[in-house]
Structure 1
Amino acid sequence: MQGRRSSTFSRLLRHGFTDAAAAERLLQDDALAGVRGDPVLLEALGATADPDQALLGLVRLAEAMDPGERRTLLDTVTSAKPLRDRLLGVMGASEALCDHLSRHPADWHALVTYEARDLHPGVEEFEERLASVRTPDALRAAYRRCLLGIAARDVCGTNDLVRTAAELADLATATLRAALAIASTELPQDAAACRLAVIGMGKCGGHELNYVSDVDVIFVAEPAEADDGEGTASDDTAALRAATRLAVRMMGVCSETTAEGTIWPVDPNLRPEGKNGPLVRTLSSHLAYYRRWAKTWEFQALLKARPVAGDMALGADYVEAIRPMVWQAAERENFVIDVQEMRRRVVDTIPAAQLARELKLGPGGLRDVEFAVQLLQLVHGRTDTSLRSPTTLTALAELAAGGYVGRADAASLDAAYRFLRLMEHRIQLQKMRRTHLVPDDEAGLRRLGRGLGFRSEPVQTLDREWKRHAREVRRLHEKLFYRPLLDAVAQLDRDETRLSTEAARTRLQALGYADPVAAMRHLEALASGVSRKAAIQRTLLPVLLGWFADSADPDAGLLGFRKVSDALGKTPWYLRLLRDEGAAAQRLARVLSSGRLAPDLLMRAPEAVALLGSRDGLVPRDHQALEQEVLAAVGRADTPEQAIAAVRGVRRRELFRTAAGDLIDTYGDDEESDGPLDPAVLVDRVGTAVYGLTSATVAGALRAAVNAVTGGDAHPLPARLAVIGMGRFGGRELGYGSDADVMFVYEAREGADSGDAGRAALAVANELRRLLQIPTADPPLLIDADLRPEGKSGPLARSLASYEAYYRRWSLGWESQALLRALPVAGDLELGQRFVALIDPLRYPEDGLDDEAVREIRRLKARMEGERMPRGADRTTHAKLGRGGLSDVEWTVQLLQLRHAARLPSLRTTGTRAALAAARAEDLIGADDLRILDEAWVLATRVRNAVMLVRGRPGDTFPGDGRELAAVGRYLGYPAGHVGDMLEQYRRRTRRARAVMERLFYEA
């Protein structure tokens, strides 16, 4: 006996029972006499979501029957597989339907028939099954009887998710009609006094209902027509009162709870004015409200409106009247922003404790898919009528077919939405309660996992699959729903979206396009035709036009886009990147319309567009990694000219990366940004990036020059050679147009002749300069060696010993000042460090500066101001040499370093801003002085960077051309038309910096 019990116990565990002892007791129940040992029954129970629950439900059902009916049930269960699977599947999935069957045991017969009408019933079939009901309780029982069939087809896989949701919506439609019929029978005078239409909204209207959901409705009423056919109508007020009583009673029939439970709440709060508005309105009252007062979300809700009950002709009139307003809603001001903000508010209302379990409203939930699809429909469905389905998955398929959503993205969203909705269905089916929370108990999770088909490790598999789909939904929701091109597309009217009418030219001119005719030619070239490429361009172009128009030179932006598209249009990834990868299109628009430098670089390397696909793509690369790439490219080249071309290719790409990242973060207007970055942060980042790129370029040119001089590794260079960065290069604060100030130092290798070493080092230095001076369309990198001893008159390369002898005997004060920014940047870094050790006593003099040395520095500064300022230049706006410009700040800082760095090591830095901060930390300057000098230096540096970005060539003054000046203003953060403010504020800041400079530099 004990052996048999142990064997049965083990079998039950293998079949998925969690309480085998309780299951054994249930199988011994008299109600299952004759089938308790049937292996077919155990196998079928083990295939359910919850075998323990299914067995208990079967026992309760059998106990509720008389013996004859029970025998029929058990014989059918053991002999008829379709019924067995359907009945036990429902019982294992739904405790609530087990309860229903125990109260109405005869309803099991609803699962026996297996005819076509039973497999795929629609509204008419459900109406037939509900036709005999006369009371609310009878309707509730009949509703659950119909629900048994839907649940059986669902859990057995006869219906997929879409079919199940459609059947639930059809059953809801039939139930609303039956409830209205009951209300009309109870209130015959009211029914005769009005025409009442019930409009299905939400998932009911969209034909995609859940098992338990509020059924959203709107009521429309008109007075009943007179019997004589003359069109005389009853009084509107009386008709509305009658219709309101009917509507209230109809909702009560569905929503009230009795011994038979409830069906579902009927929610009329999507009506005009929501809870505060009248429950029932006339058609004209509805239309008046929507024309004058409706909010954006109301039009989004109306996308799913359809007549479901009552006067269907009146319902059709309502839908026909509001439909044009729905598809014009996207033209409302701030439409996209409003919809996005509403979605955020929905997420914010979720209690923090439930957020991780929220299947519908949380991040990565069902509402993310629905909002994204609806937003895309409302924006693009204005002109493309194929996108107007109220059903989410159908609309998603239409968006993919039209090219508005990538096919792969649509497939991922479809799969994720089906999985999440199936989870929602299984959760609600268990107790027939309206919930979207994933269970937090082991038993509930196990039942849910098994109900989704996960038999092995159901809890762990469920968690993994749920999180995978939620992550994918969130990623695609952010890509599609917040895709910034939608907001601008929503502002364009039908003609402009087509990009082919005279109105479009007028619009282009109004947007600031100086040559709208040429702009139209570009648009026609890009968007004409019936290809998928042209369809995607037509989706992109309206928003790009707006972004270009928001720049200082829209024509240049559009022309640049056409050139890039001509170069890359046949590559499969280009348009897909712009359409699908979040802010890539907006970034490209910003780059193309912000000046000449970045577009010129892009024209020479169009594939660099790929860098715009993510924020990471615009982060400057580490200079060590760049140097390794450059040296590897040089090593593969056959000639010095090929080597330098490869080096320039890397420089071109990385200069574009830096410029594009600078422009994007300067404006801070793409979807991944938190707003513009601090200008000081941008200046430092650009300076460091261009320094790293320049040092890698010089390192590559040096390697190519050595190979050219030596003929390769077979003849090693007799000298070790180091390149010392000076000026802004040494300070790691280069701008886009900066020269590379350098000095060359060498040392003969052990055993090598010093004369041979000197000649070889000079030959390498000259070859390096020659290679970098080869004409190119790229921004030039000029090597300036004029800070070397004796300037242009001195040898280009000196030995370390020669430098030591010169500095010991002949060094001048300005040379010590120049050496403050000396930094090894390429070549033999050990030799470079020895050079730094050699010059440290000169640039950080142990006794500081005597009065005469200070006076000499001041005289040099005054002389430079008088002699180097270009003729006719405005001293108040010259970024380098003008009042309060770079020179004023740098000379002030360098004087502090020369006087105090020997005793204050924190001042021993080659960077201007770092030295300023150290001077403040050492209490050499006050906090206000630091702020004023630092802001002026950052501003002047940004002006120089802006000029290079806008004009494509370096400059120290604001441009004279109006468009170029406006572009500089935009880069510096000034709206269009505010260049006067920009110049005034520049003068104000630099004037304050000059006052601080004069006090610290000339008077201290």
Structure 2
Amino acid sequence: MGFEDAEGAAAVLGKLGDAADSLVHLLAVTADPDQATRYLAELTERADDGTELLEDLIDDEGFAMRLLLVLGASSALGDHLLHHPEQWRELTSPDLGSTRPPAFALRADLLRAVGADPASATPVSDMDDTAAVDALRVEYRRLLLRLASRDLAHGVGMDDVAAELSDLAAGTLEAALAVARARVGDAASTCRLSVVAMGKCGGRELNYVSDVDVIFVAEPADGVEETPAIRAATQLASNMMRICSDHTAEGTIWPVDAALRPEGKSGPLVRTVASHQGYYERWAKTWEFQALLKARPVAGDAALGREYCERIGPMVWSAAEREGFVTDVQAMRRRVLEHIPAQHAERQLKLGSGGLRDVEFAVQLLQLVHGRGDEKVRCPATLSALAELTRGGYVGREDGASLDAAYKFLRTLEHRIQLAQLRRTHVVPDDAESLRRLGRSMGFRRQPIAELDQQWKQHRREVRRLHEKLFYRPLLAAVAKLPGDEARLTPEAAKQRLAALGYADPVGALRHLEALTSGVSRSAAIQRTLLPVMLEWFADAPDPDAGLLGFRKISEALGSTHWYLRLLRDEGQVAYRMALVLASSRYGTDLLQRAPEGVALLGKENGLVPLSREALEKEMVEVGLRQTDPVQAIEAVRAIRRRELFRVATADLVGELDVAAVGLALTDITVATLEAALAVASAAIEAERRAPLPTRMAIVAMGRFGGHELSYGSDADVMFVHEPLEGVDGHEASTAATHVANELRRLLALPGTDPALDIDTGLRPEGKQGPLVRSLDSYAAYYAKWSAVWEAQALLRADALVGDRGLRDRFTAMADPLRFPADGITDKDVREVRRIKARVDSERLPRGADPATHLKLGRGGLADVEWTVQLLQMQHAGKIESLRTTRTLDALAAAVEADLLPEEDADALRQAWSTASRLRNAIMLVRGRPSDSLPRDPREKAAVAHLCGYAPGESDELVNDYLRITRRARAVVDRVFWD
């Protein structure tokens, strides 16, 4: 039945006579049946009406449960009843189970106990001071006894218990102040004094045993000078504090702590309203405003207390605009954790990680940031504030429910720990006896210690997780930086701000805002929270109007999904990245609008890290071969490609990838796409033939593709190569390979929602006049007989990346002697290379293009650098192995290492090549279509400059820097290439 000392309990029960049989099953459900039995037996002996007590217990099970549960859970209240045995009758009223006493009734009872008038709170009797102080303690414990019995026996909500404890504390302060007035005498009438509760008492969420935090506010009575009035008020306040905290024959109540006042313990105990206001305006720290969030007048002059709160309140709700406010609050929480004694860290219910403070700090920070514009979230009580924050969309429903449940559990556990001995403690005990009693008091009967531990750890983990998520939410810091009237979006505020922020069409922007935020839906509420910050982020990017339009389209496409707005609200980095993409890049916006679910990538850990080529190939090939219809198969492959292009573009936009890394990532995506397309096309031709392919196939990457240097707008320059299987007719093999190549090109050319992947085969032998696919032997024969120097130069960028591994290796082995001749190229070949380059420079530059700013063919541009490097490779790679690479920057580094170029020249070429490549990518990101010329449109040029790291208004600096870099590179090209 739950008794630990069955023999001892039986002996004690024997003293109860026949009543024991009726009461034993009730004793068995208490937190500590042995303790409850001992107290009950002693109480019946001490009470003058012990027989009546036992009879009432047998006749009224409700009364029995109230009394016995108190005796089993609280030795302190058991001792109180033994000291005042007549008070057992306080628990007999059937109304206790259904009626909560109002605050005014508690106040009146306490005032009457000390001989004061409940109406005026002034002393009316000649009660001795010592008697009044003791009477206050007895009356406080009487009311506390009634509350504890209701809490334990009738399942009163934790928040209701905390509110009643706060009302009891407020009444006690009023009664103590009445006793203090009697002590001070006539001087008390020279001042008006208000007691303002702070902390848990102010929020009406007090514990059973806690310091009661207060601030004292005073003003002179009519016709009285300020100095004597403040002196009298200080006497009143000091005496009131002692009356509550002194130890007497009837024990103590709780300490009254005024350390939250201005200047703390070193400041005056009592100040006027003006003095308080002056301090908060000039000197107050962030934490002091956080503490004032719960300020509430509870005793003394109510009108003065209200005046104080009205004067201080606006400062509380503008504190979040202080420089570094959010980081200050976060740092303060970390300091609290650092100062917890190591031996208590894991058992600290209040201050430890995953404890009550984590919930309270997170809720208060959200309140202070969002409460500036939304008065509904200004509730001082934690659970009420959490409910409003959840209702307003600032906290997700599931997160809000989890925090609510965890906070209630932890506070209830705190109540039960303190109730045991009425001691101020927040540490979960570690001895088995105390844990068993505690677990049973929480309702765990079968395995109280194990069940308590499991529940406590589960709630602590959840609090820790949600605290990290909410308290360190990046969006908070951004919201806090907004002026208060803009923290909650309204049409009026929006009208005034849009034009100032740089929106070219404020009227159109306002229409988008109204469409996103109108109505009372949860989505609209979250949008009203997000958009003030998003508008700022859009405005920091080159095209705010495009950003807002894109955001509206994506929100309309994804608004009904359960994760979209929650992700933006909870993960500020996601919202910031999304704003940057939408307001900076038409290319990224188009990708996102075609597949809005790509937003989810922005919130994943390492979500912007490009996938490896192996991972991409595996995913694409598996997805492609899973479909029987080749069109559906290639659509699935292209969807993955679109996702990966968005990943790379966003990583580029936020500065996580340099230009070389972008080129590698785009190359990997293209290789994987072609690998999957080759598999799908091969399967389709095999199905058509109803037989396996008679040949092996590979795809050779050429140009920038082969150099692993693709840009967003690059075609995929390729050559198709095949190798007939042993014993297969060459014509049959060639026909099948051509069908596969054509099917691959057809599938990739189908209209779709992803950017096109254009396959360019113009670099194959004989160009467009030659066969689309050649066998390896045919390539070898052609190059042996007909190869021109330009074709050997083209092979410098050839990298067999797709298809049969063995065939790829054999192609490379065939190509190497051609592109890396052992003795280098002849002087005649050098002249031919220069002739071709001169012809390219004069004929290929588009009409009207500025040769100074054309990124590819202009002076010091990509072609200049690449032809220079390639000439060095053709001349020396036959003897210098490190030059045998398809990659421009690697070849440049190898040329320096081989003393073919001084480091200064190589740096000039490297910088020009990287700058031109970066600008090429930036232009594509901004415009959504490729161009090799620097934009002339001022907005586009400004956007490109922004992506390249230039400050607003520095687009001309971008052009000047480019011209300087390319002039330096051109000087090297003139010396090295043109000799």
| Shared fold (TM-score, shorter chain, > 0.5) | yes
Count of equivalent residues: 960
**Is residue 516–residue 552 contact of structure 2 (8 Å, CA) maintained in 1?**
yes
- CA distance, structure 2, for counterparts of residue 875 and residue 139 of structure 1: 94
Report the CA distance shift for 1:67/1:314 in structure 2 as closer, same or farther (over 3 A): closer
Aligned to 1:357: 347
- CA distance, structure 2, for counterparts of residue 208 and residue 535 of structure 1: 28
Structure 2 residue 222 is the aligned partner of structure 1 residue 222 = no
**Which secondary structure does the structure 1 equivalent of 2:575 belong to?**
helix
After TM superposition, the structure 1 stretch with the greater mean CA deviation from structure 2, 813-822 or 562-571, is 813-822
Structure 2 residue 694 is the aligned partner of structure 1 residue 718 = yes
| Per-residue deviation, 1:141 | 4.2
| Per-residue deviation, 1:426 | 2.4
| AA at the equivalent of 1:186 | R
Report the CA distance shift for 1:103/1:975 in structure 2 as closer, same or farther (over 3 A): farther
Structure 2 residue 156 is the aligned partner of structure 1 residue 159 = yes
The equivalences for 1:727-766 within 5 A come to 727-766=703-742
Structure 2 residue 73 is the aligned partner of structure 1 residue 93 = yes
Structure 2 residue 759 is the aligned partner of structure 1 residue 769 = no
- CA distance, structure 2, for counterparts of residue 197 and residue 315 of structure 1: 5
| AA at the equivalent of 1:245 | Q
| AA at the equivalent of 1:523 | L
| 1:123-149 alpha-carbon deviations (Å, 9 max, x no partner) | 333334433244444433443343333
Structure 2 residue 410 is the aligned partner of structure 1 residue 420 = yes
**Which secondary structure does the structure 2 equivalent of 1:152 belong to?**
helix
Aligned to 1:657: 647
- CA distance, structure 2, for counterparts of residue 837 and residue 90 of structure 1: 90
Structure 2 residue 688 is the aligned partner of structure 1 residue 697 = no
- CA distance, structure 2, for counterparts of residue 603 and residue 858 of structure 1: 46
Aligned to 2:237: 247
| Per-residue deviation, 1:258 | 5.2
The equivalences for 1:531-546 within 5 A come to 531-546=521-536
- CA distance, structure 2, for counterparts of residue 865 and residue 280 of structure 1: 88
Structure 2 residue 131 is the aligned partner of structure 1 residue 140 = no
Which of the numbers 20, 24, 33 marks the counterpart of 2:7? 24
**TM-score with structure 2 setting the length:** 0.86
The equivalences for 1:120-519 within 5 A come to 120-130=100-110, 131-133=112-114, 134-225=131-222, 233-257=223-247, 260-330=250-320, 335-350=325-340, 354-490=344-480, 491-492=482-483, 494=485, 497-501=488-492, 504-519=494-509
**Which secondary structure does the structure 2 equivalent of 1:722 belong to?**
strand
| 1:237-289 alpha-carbon deviations (Å, 9 max, x no partner) | 11111111211221222234456554323222333343443221212333344
| Per-residue deviation, 1:235 | 0.2
| Per-residue deviation, 1:598 | 1.1
**Is residue 211–residue 428 contact of structure 1 (8 Å, CA) maintained in 2?**
yes
| 1:124-182 alpha-carbon deviations (Å, 9 max, x no partner) | 33334433244444433443343333333223343121111111111111111122122
The equivalences for 1:64-79 within 5 A come to 66=46
**Which secondary structure does the structure 2 equivalent of 1:411 belong to?**
helix
**Is residue 484–residue 586 contact of structure 1 (8 Å, CA) maintained in 2?**
no
Aligned to 1:952: 928
Listed as ranges, the gaps of 5+ residues in structure 2 are 115-130
- CA distance, structure 2, for counterparts of residue 150 and residue 857 of structure 1: 101
**Is residue 35–residue 78 contact of structure 1 (8 Å, CA) maintained in 2?**
no
Report the CA distance shift for 1:638/1:266 in structure 2 as closer, same or farther (over 3 A): same
Report the CA distance shift for 1:88/1:335 in structure 2 as closer, same or farther (over 3 A): same
| AA at the equivalent of 2:235 | R
| Per-residue deviation, 1:438 | 3.3
**Which secondary structure does the structure 1 equivalent of 2:217 belong to?**
strand
| 1:583-614 alpha-carbon deviations (Å, 9 max, x no partner) | 44333222211120011122222343343443
- CA distance, structure 1, for counterparts of residue 49 and residue 643 of structure 2: 82
**Which secondary structure does the structure 1 equivalent of 2:720 belong to?**
strand
| Per-residue deviation, 1:427 | 2.9
**Which secondary structure does the structure 2 equivalent of 1:436 belong to?**
coil
After TM superposition, the structure 1 stretch with the greater mean CA deviation from structure 2, 564-573 or 896-905, is 896-905
Which of the numbers 524, 548, 554 marks the counterpart of 1:558? 548
After TM superposition, the structure 1 stretch with the greater mean CA deviation from structure 2, 751-760 or 900-909, is 900-909
Q: CA RMSD in A?
A: 4.2
- CA distance, structure 2, for counterparts of residue 628 and residue 198 of structure 1: 71
Report the CA distance shift for 1:869/1:43 in structure 2 as closer, same or farther (over 3 A): farther
Structure 2 residue 588 is the aligned partner of structure 1 residue 598 = yes
| AA at the equivalent of 1:24 | E
**Is residue 708–residue 887 contact of structure 2 (8 Å, CA) maintained in 1?**
yes
| 1:752-777 alpha-carbon deviations (Å, 9 max, x no partner) | 32122223323433443344345667
| Per-residue deviation, 1:209 | 0.9
| AA at the equivalent of 1:499 | T
**Which secondary structure does the structure 1 equivalent of 2:218 belong to?**
strand
| Per-residue deviation, 1:222 | 1.0
**Is residue 479–residue 582 contact of structure 1 (8 Å, CA) maintained in 2?**
no
**Is residue 46–residue 85 contact of structure 2 (8 Å, CA) maintained in 1?**
no
| Per-residue deviation, 1:331 | 5.2
**Is residue 190–residue 245 contact of structure 1 (8 Å, CA) maintained in 2?**
no
Aligned to 1:6: none
**Is residue 738–residue 773 contact of structure 2 (8 Å, CA) maintained in 1?**
yes
- CA distance, structure 1, for counterparts of residue 875 and residue 43 of structure 2: 101
| 1:91-136 alpha-carbon deviations (Å, 9 max, x no partner) | 4433444454555555545444443499522333333443324444
Aligned to 2:29: 47
**Which secondary structure does the structure 2 equivalent of 1:593 belong to?**
helix
**Is residue 97–residue 154 contact of structure 2 (8 Å, CA) maintained in 1?**
no
| AA at the equivalent of 1:944 | R
After TM superposition, the structure 1 stretch with the greater mean CA deviation from structure 2, 903-912 or 154-163, is 903-912
Report the CA distance shift for 1:324/1:758 in structure 2 as closer, same or farther (over 3 A): same
| Per-residue deviation, 1:203 | 1.2
| Per-residue deviation, 1:516 | 1.0
- CA distance, structure 2, for counterparts of residue 985 and residue 271 of structure 1: 58
| 1:23-78 alpha-carbon deviations (Å, 9 max, x no partner) | 6346546x96346994665544443334455456557x559x54866666666666
- CA distance, structure 2, for counterparts of residue 860 and residue 263 of structure 1: 101
- CA distance, structure 2, for counterparts of residue 260 and residue 957 of structure 1: 90
| Per-residue deviation, 1:734 | 2.8
Report the CA distance shift for 1:517/1:348 in structure 2 as closer, same or farther (over 3 A): farther
| AA at the equivalent of 1:139 | L
Report the CA distance shift for 1:273/1:899 in structure 2 as closer, same or farther (over 3 A): farther
After TM superposition, the structure 1 stretch with the greater mean CA deviation from structure 2, 462-471 or 310-319, is 462-471
- CA distance, structure 2, for counterparts of residue 454 and residue 918 of structure 1: 73
| AA at the equivalent of 1:699 | E
Listed as ranges, the gaps of 5+ residues in structure 1 are 1-13, 226-232, 667-676
After TM superposition, the structure 1 stretch with the greater mean CA deviation from structure 2, 236-245 or 114-123, is 114-123
**Is residue 488–residue 542 contact of structure 1 (8 Å, CA) maintained in 2?**
no
**Is residue 489–residue 529 contact of structure 2 (8 Å, CA) maintained in 1?**
no
**TM-score with structure 1 setting the length:** 0.84
| AA at the equivalent of 1:425 | H
Aligned to 2:662: 686
| Per-residue deviation, 1:192 | 1.4
After TM superposition, the structure 1 stretch with the greater mean CA deviation from structure 2, 185-194 or 478-487, is 478-487
Structure 2 residue 2 is the aligned partner of structure 1 residue 33 = no
